[in-house]
Structure 1
Amino acid sequence: MNFSNLTIISLTGDENYTQGSMYAIERSCLELQGAKGLLISPTRPANLPAHIKHIPCKKFSYMEYNLYVLYALKEVIDTEFCLIVQPDGWVVNGKNWRDEFFNYDFIGSVVPSFVIRDERGITLENSQCWIKKINGQHFDYSPPNHQQTLNGGFSLRSKRLLNIATELKLPVFIPPPDTVFKDGKLETQWKFPTYNEDTFLTGLNREKLTQHGIKFADRRTATQFSIETPYILGVLQAELTQCLGLHYRYLHLTGVNEVSFKPIIAQLEKDWQNHPNVIAIIQWLNQLGYRVNMDLN
């Protein structure tokens, strides 16, 4: 298949992620031949491949990143669809592409959170409310009135989706932070940041966007597209080797064929070898020719 209707893009305001973002675009373009490549970053990497276009930007924060994706990304995409990639989210195996992905305006991996609308209003719940571990296995206990949120870090979006927040003049609401200090330093933090563009689009505003014709991928399709949280593989009975890509924050591209694995959560640092789905992801990458370097320091 020719992917001339697709732009593979990575956007970062942090120089520390520029190189990895370039690798994510380069690898994804290799997997989906014919797609355009676009990197937006403060500086242009010296080794940027000729087929990847670069647009300079100022340095910006994570909050600004979300606002750029919601309101500005449409200005730089001239294809029918775009695929957002990051150093920790890219096309792992292009052979798993499904043409039906183009039937949706937004596809991203299932994440362990969802939005509930009831008499309390709108609430954002985490995985502890819908995934329960029983005898070593995870089970789905999603409430019937939930709206599943999808990940944006590795996601396919239509041009129509890119335009919708501006067309409908959807404002981003930022509540007071849950904490303002971290490790003795002034730093605002939110337990559930409502400004996260994926939560904003696929959760908080899904009902409104659906009414305007935006089509979000169902859980099954989303899991065929990508995986983010390993234990969701078991919950949704998904086949890892059939996924197009992944978005997993402990894996970062350090080259077109090289990946660094760094388990930064304390529990995972101690017993990551006892997590079968984590092992399965690493084995999957090895089987596809990636060299996975373990960063356990």
Structure 2
Amino acid sequence: MPNKRSLSLFIADTDLHVLANQAVRQCLASMHFDEVLIFSDLPEAFEGLPVIPTPKIRSIEAYNDIAVRGLAQHLRTDFVLTVQYDGFILDSKEFSPHFYHYDYIGAPWPGQDEHNDVGNGGFSWRSRRLVQAAAALTPPGPIDVEDLLICQRLRPELEAQGMRFAPRAVASHFSVEFPAVPYPTFGFHGLFWLPQVYRNAPDFLVDHLSDRIIQSRSGFLLPALEQLAPASAERLKARVQRLAA
């Protein structure tokens, strides 16, 4: 491996600004990035960092378009770490230089065959050549699910161009989504992990979830919150009730 490979940090968020900023700051405190690519409608939420002005992301298709086509237009480094408010670096000591050997790494998916088990895009590692190739291969029109597009639909064509997708063992060390693993990982992805990640500040987590997440996905948070921080779980339930009234 060359002594120096340039690396970017990428996030696109116009809904959970405070938690997205926390994800970015956690990553920046964990390791060096040569470039930060933040797509947002609220630059002041990321004070001191460059922000690419972005209209409100109102659909999963709009996010996927940024993650595939928008990232390809702006990425200038050799690799990029894609993060979200519910997926970022957990333990920088688990970073491995072997990650540079692969064009795509993401947490394994359960129930997939051996050729399609990697990987989740919410916290993922991508090479610039893969980002550019995926954008070029993506047909015009809306993109339903960007990680499925790259790791399943486009994978044969990308591999034919020499792209390397990490094997399951590497992907499992890189990140955890579901199911849990009995060893530390570099990062994670999944709303259901947030109570554990924010175990020292559960009220901060609950207070900065958007109304959209509260209304549609609070069930993913409640089991862990009830176990780790019962008072915060009640706080979350109260928000759910107020929004339902």
Distance, in Å, in 1 between the alignment partners of 2:129 and 2:5 is 17
TM-score between both structures, scaled by the size of structure 2? 0.76
- Within the candidate set 162, 183, 189, 1:240 is matched to 183
- Within the candidate set 86, 104, 128, 2:102 is matched to 104
**Contact 1:92–1:244 (Cα < 8 Å) also in 2:** yes
**Contact 1:109–1:225 (Cα < 8 Å) also in 2:** yes
Unaligned stretches of 5+ residues in structure 1? 115-141, 175-193, 234-238, 283-290
TM-score between both structures, scaled by the size of structure 1? 0.64
Deviation at 1:207, TM superposition (A): 1.3
Distance, in Å, in 2 between the alignment partners of 1:81 and 1:230 is 27
**Secondary structure in 1 aligned to 2:24?**
helix
Larger relative helix fraction: 2
- Within the candidate set 132, 144, 151, 1:195 is matched to 144
Residue type of the partner of 1:249? L
Aligned residues: percent identity? 26
**Contact 1:154–1:247 (Cα < 8 Å) also in 2:** yes
1:66 to 1:4, Cα distance in 2 relative to 1, 3 A: same
Instruction: Give the aligned partner of residue 93 of structure 1.
Output: 91
Alpha-carbon deviations, 1:190-221, whole Å to 9, x = none? xxxx7200000001221121111111111000
Distance, in Å, in 2 between the alignment partners of 1:166 and 1:90 is 23
Larger relative strand fraction: 1
Alpha-carbon deviations, 1:29-48, whole Å to 9, x = none? 111134433321011135x3
**Secondary structure in 1 aligned to 2:188?**
strand
Q: Which has the larger radius of gyration?
A: 1
Distance, in Å, in 1 between the alignment partners of 2:141 and 2:52 is 29
**Contact 2:225–2:233 (Cα < 8 Å) also in 1:** no
Question: In the alignment, is residue 160 of structure 1 matched against residue 129 of structure 2?
Answer: yes
- Within the candidate set 48, 53, 58, 1:56 is matched to 53
**Secondary structure in 2 aligned to 1:151?**
coil
Question: In the alignment, is residue 7 of structure 1 matched against residue 8 of structure 2?
Answer: yes
Deviation at 1:172, TM superposition (A): 6.3
Distance, in Å, in 1 between the alignment partners of 2:82 and 2:37 is 10
1:195 to 1:149, Cα distance in 2 relative to 1, 3 A: farther
Q: How many residues align?
A: 219
Distance, in Å, in 1 between the alignment partners of 2:82 and 2:4 is 15
